[in-house]
């Protein structure tokens, strides 16, 4: 089913334009840039809907984030999380982070999560804190052995729309095999890795952020102090 959706997304995304441009004189006034904008918006909506459908079915996706391209799944689904570890050939003892939006988090428990920073920032929260932040349960094989969990609120339209539509955090880990360099762009992603995920989100201009590296990482300790793990 997943490959079928992936193959047809480009076809169905252009149908509204074909329909618009058929049987009406008004379309003769449609400028090329307007048609292209409509095409991109339609592609984006189909990409979001298709990604959510795959995630709800327990599948995995390759998708753009506010930093670099990543692969992910529904954070509530333990089987899907296990599948991500297999895809990346990653040691299960190395935890993965989750992306959230304000609609599924209690920011009063940790206002720092919503702090505006110069670049995307992931916060590593101790167990007692992230349990207060998240409003829904997540898979037990997602957080670290010491109970901590990485959380980021991405300022990225695709991620926000998918998370809100799914009603769940989205697991995020870089789109590379464990031990290999993280991709700086979509073109750098291994074809072998692409073949292992269930759905590839198209590389649309609207999804690009200009970021070519992972986020900053700040650990929040149990006493409230912070440590910068990656600047």
Determine which helix (DSSP H) or strand (DSSP E) holds 229, and give its type and residue range: strand 226-230
Task: Give me the count of residues in the chain.
Answer: 231
Considering the domain 2-230, what is its CATH architecture? Alpha-Beta Complex (3.90)
Using only C-alpha atoms, the chain has a radius of gyration, in whole angstroms, of: 19
Quote the pLDDT of residue 108.
95
Position 35 scores a pLDDT of: 46
For residues 40-55, average pLDDT? 86
Read off the pLDDT of each residue in 207-220 and give the average, rounded to a whole number: 84
Q: Does 30 score more than 60 pLDDT? A: no
Contact between 185 and 212 (Cβ < 8 Å): yes
pLDDT at residue number 206 = 66
Residue whose entry in the numeric block shows the structure tokens 């109970």? 147
- The chain-wide mean pLDDT, for the chain, equals 84
Predicted confidence at residue 184, as pLDDT, reads 86
What's the average model confidence in pLDDT over 160-184?
96
Higher-pLDDT residue of 25, 104: 104
Q: What are phi and psi of 120, to 5 degrees?
A: -50, 135
Of 9, 11, 72, the residue nearest 46 (C-alpha): 9
> What pLDDT does residue 41 have?
58
Tens digits of per-residue pLDDT, 119-144?
899 999 999 999 999 999 999 999 99
Per 3-state DSSP, the chain is made up of helix, strand and coil in percentages (nearest 5) of 40, 15, 40
Where are the chain's structural domains? 2-230
């Amino acid at each position: 089913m997943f490959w079928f959706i992936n193959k047809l997304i480009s076809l169905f995304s252009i149908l509204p334009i074909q329909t618009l441009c058929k049987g009406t004189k008004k379309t003769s006034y449609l400028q090329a840039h307007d048609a292209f904008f409509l095409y991109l918006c339609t592609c984006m909506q189909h990409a979001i809907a298709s990604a959510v459908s795959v995630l709800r079915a327990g599948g995995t996706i390759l998708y753009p984030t506010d930093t670099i391209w990543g692969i992910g799944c529904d954070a509530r689904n333990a089987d899907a999380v296990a599948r991500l570890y297999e895809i990346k050939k990653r040691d299960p003892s190395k935890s993965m982070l989750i992306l959230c939006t304000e609609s599924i988090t209690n920011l009063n428990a940790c206002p720092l999560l919503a702090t505006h920073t110069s670049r995307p920032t992931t916060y590593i929260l101790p167990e007692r804190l992230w349990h207060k932040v998240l409003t829904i349960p997540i898979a037990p094989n997602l957080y670290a052995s010491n109970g901590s969990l990485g959380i980021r609120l991405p300022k990225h339209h695709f991620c926000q729309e998918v998370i809100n539509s799914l009603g769940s955090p989205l697991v995020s880990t870089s789109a590379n095999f464990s031990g290999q360099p993280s991709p700086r762009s979509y073109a750098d992603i291994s074809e072998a890795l692409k073949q292992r995920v269930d759905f590839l989100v198209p590389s649309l201009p609207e999804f690009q952020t200009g970021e070519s590296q992972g986020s900053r990482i700040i650990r929040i300790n149990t006493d409230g102090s912070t440590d910068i793990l990656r600047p």
